[in-house]
Amino acid sequence: MKQYLKLDEWSIIEEGFDPHNHEISESVFSIGNGFMGQRANFEEQYSGSSLQGSYMAGVYYPDKTRVGWWKNGYPEYFAKVLNSTNWIGIDVDVNGTSLDLAKCTVKDFVRVLNMKEGYLSRSFTAVMEDGKELKIEAVRFVSIVRHEIGSIRYSVAPLNFSGELTFTPYLDGDVKNKDSNYDEKFWLEVFKEAGQGTGALTIKTKKLDFHITSAMFYEILKNGEKLNLDAEIIEREKFVGNRVSVQVNEGEEVSLYKYVANVTSRNHGLGQLVEAAREVLNTAVQAGFNALLSEQATAWSDKWKESDIVIEGDVAAQQAIRFNIFQLNQTYSGEDDRLNIGPKGFTGEKYGGSTYWDTEAYCLPFYLSTADSSISRNLLIYRYKHLEKAKENAKKLGFTKGALYPMVTMNGEECHNEWEITFEEIHRNGAIAYAIYNYVNYTGDFAYLGQYGLEVLAEISRFWEQRVNYVPAKDQYVMLGVTGPNEYENNVNNNWYTNRIACWTMEYTLDVLNYLEQNEPERYTELVGKLNLQEEETTKWQDIINKMYYPVDTERGIFLQQDGFLDKELVQVKDLDPKHLPLNQNWSWDRILRSVYIKQADVLQGLFFLGDRYDLDTKKRNFDFYEPFTVHESSLSPCVHSILACELGYQEKAYEMYLRTSRLDLDNYNNDTEDGCHTTSMAGTWMSVVHGFGGLRVKDGVLHLNPFVPGHWTSFSFKVMFRGSRLKVNVTDKEIIVLNETDIPAVISLNGKEHTISGMGDVKVAR
């Protein structure tokens, strides 16, 4: 854990420049708008360690798989969201010497991510090698109003000299991904053009033919007055820029305003890209930097009205939850059902920016509660559109029917190449099925089942039907050779969670079939015909449900993570020498696999998902047994434990786990934030507050709340959208107040008692 950021309720603040923290800060201070994202790289040159990162949503590259040896079924490629045109670049020379924070003395450095208004600022004093001092202030943002626009104000003031400042604003498409399998550059130049104060650059991927056009315009002001300067035009391969010099006296300020439009062939025709970029750019330039920044603040204010969580009495917790909400709103807007959420969002390259089961298991609840239901619906539509690819994936592994959704994907094809995950971590199918249930249960949108849901559920159930083995001697079904959520166990038999979520999926599919037969008989008949669904299939599903084998330890009264789990040496994490942690950075993989230690919630993941099926005593026995063996080396682990701890009344453990998940990146708990923020676990952080401390559940179409205030807080409040109503929940140690901020009445249950809240009304309950 590394704490170097200042605590503040609305901002992330770094005071003082330490190059050792820079790549961590590049991740933490990232900005985005759901369509593009930018790491917090410096505008000026920087020769120190840095991961340059500008990313455009949905633009990716199929980087050829690199493995030691090939196995049948391996995917041909690993998909990567590409590091694209560096649009922020502004080189600065002082009397011919480059400004480079790795080569000069840096004083009074402050970097601020203003989460309330949605922009990044940076200020510092640079002392050049010859003693010249200059003050730099920079502000930049990517617009959440104009999704293809980014803008920068970069100001320089000489403090102890007069001389010449030279600025080189540019667009650079000659970039590469740090995680390229073969150190390959993925871009080719298509078009470039530069003029006085302008530039445009089009590049395309070597495969898949994605095109990106970036167009820039800049202007320079001295002491607030616009200058008319002749620029040197620079053009080279995949690069356009201007070089312009300004004579400046001590104490004067020169400001460069740079506007950039980034457009892609995903949203524009190839022949219209340059024109589209220039048109978008012109409207931004006409508005001006201050107006763009003002509309950015207004738009973020609206977002915070929907999704803010207020915590009183704990600044670290307050800052952390807002940071998590901010990054989630920067990463996914839900307006494009072709897009999904990568585990690092737009903050880094690890995991390729691809879609994992994280979306369905962790992200969906956040968007269900903080946005219109169409947003979360689009996350499900994304998977529905990939159903045929999922069926192809199953066939590649030898299955004659059914669908296996990929562990990692961009377009529905599997692109992950670790055997134990690609072919064995099949529980992801269950997360996708559960997301359909979660969406319908929360929104009441039962029409989704007939429109899209049943087809996905049926094909997943067909997969489970083939994946199990029937053992005549036991008259039971088993599931062999799987990897559960705990990836510190590979190729195990009868992972409890996988067996359980498989049977739950088949149960839910049968329930949906029954619902449609009773309520939409015509659509039911149509779908049964489309799916060619046979009675012997549904009979088989029921037989598997009835006869599935689950490993248990009757003496302890717990579900076993898998067969043979108790054969391990049962040494708890607290009894390990701390020098061994984190295990994944200190132990061999062989040693990890033979140990008892758990990477993330596994059995407990099932008890979290299917909480309505198990009583508190069952949850308590399993939590008390498994949590002491859990090292939480997955970012997805602490949030599940926090929610269950809340339910069990373990308030200190719940708070400990909340702080760990919420400040995972801010404090670099896992020593890996430089690779990018853990974006999908941020949704788990939100769940820790709302589902954990807020006790939110949905039962029989009614929103249930059973909140408590952690001892470290004096009060907290959160907002949730539920079936058209937006409810603000305030919790203190004395009372719970729920305010309906819409005209739509809402029925809720508070601490087990049902209430109807009229439009714009409220209800108060003593605690």
Residues annotated as catalytic (active site), given as ranges: 487
Tokens of 487: 């990836």
Q: How far is CA 25 from CA 31, 92, 650, 732, in A?
A: 12, 22, 34, 35
Question: Rounded to 5 degrees, what are φ and ψ at 138?
Answer: -135, 140
Which contiguous run of DSSP H or E holds residue 545? helix 535-547
Strands 163-172 and 90-94 turn out to be antiparallel
Residue that the structure tokens 């590979």 belong to: 490
Beta strands across the sheet bearing 232-236: 97-98, 90-94, 163-172, 239-248, 232-236
What does 382-405 look like in DSSP terms, one character per residue?
HHHHTHHHHHHHHHHTT-SSS---
Count the neighbouring beta carbons within 10 Å of the beta carbon of residue 699: 10
Contact 722, 369 (CB under 8 A): yes
Count the neighbouring beta carbons within 10 Å of the beta carbon of residue 302: 10
Alpha carbons 236 and 173: distance in angstroms, whole number: 10
What does 117-165 look like in DSSP terms, one character per residue?
TTEEEEEEEEE-TTS-EEEEEEEEEE-SSSTTEEEEEEEEEESS--EEE
Alpha carbons 57 and 173: distance in angstroms, whole number: 16
Tokens of 169: 């604003």
User: CB neighbours of 386 closer than 8 A, spacing ≥ 6?
Assistant: 405, 409, 411, 412
Look up residue 175 and give its amino acid. V
Question: Rounded to 5 degrees, what are φ and ψ at 79?
Answer: -75, 140
